[in-house]
Amino acid sequence: MKGKMHIICEILIITEINYNIKKIPYSYNIIQTSISSLYKYSKLVTPNLFFYFILFCFILFYFI
């Protein structure tokens, strides 16, 4: 059950980030909204997900 929750959280955060990228094309806003979405799901988030999230942010910075 915990594993499924972890995957659901990851999907929710990534889809929220993708939605915000389409809405606001500024990199600082993307990071701001992704951090806020991470806080939203922080009760379900594990440390592993946090490291993936940081990695995802770095990838974003390189593409922008």
Question: How far apart are the C-alpha atoms of 13 and 55, rounded to whole Å?
Answer: 13
- Is 0.85 surpassed by the pTM of this model? no
Question: How far apart are the C-alpha atoms of 22 and 32, rounded to whole Å?
Answer: 14
Q: Which two tokens stand for residue 64?
A: 């922008």
Average pLDDT, the chain: 65
How high is the pLDDT of residue 52? 73
Q: Where are the domains of the chain?
A: 2-63
Question: How far apart are the C-alpha atoms of 32 and 24, rounded to whole Å?
Answer: 11
- Please give the single-letter amino acid code of residue 40: K
What pLDDT digit, counting tens, does each position of 20-49 carry? 656 655 555 666 667 677 666 665 555 666
Q: Among residues of the chain, what percentage have pLDDT more than 70?
A: 16
Are 17 and 34 a contacting pair, CB within 8 Å? yes
Question: How far apart are the C-alpha atoms of 53 and 8, rounded to whole Å?
Answer: 14
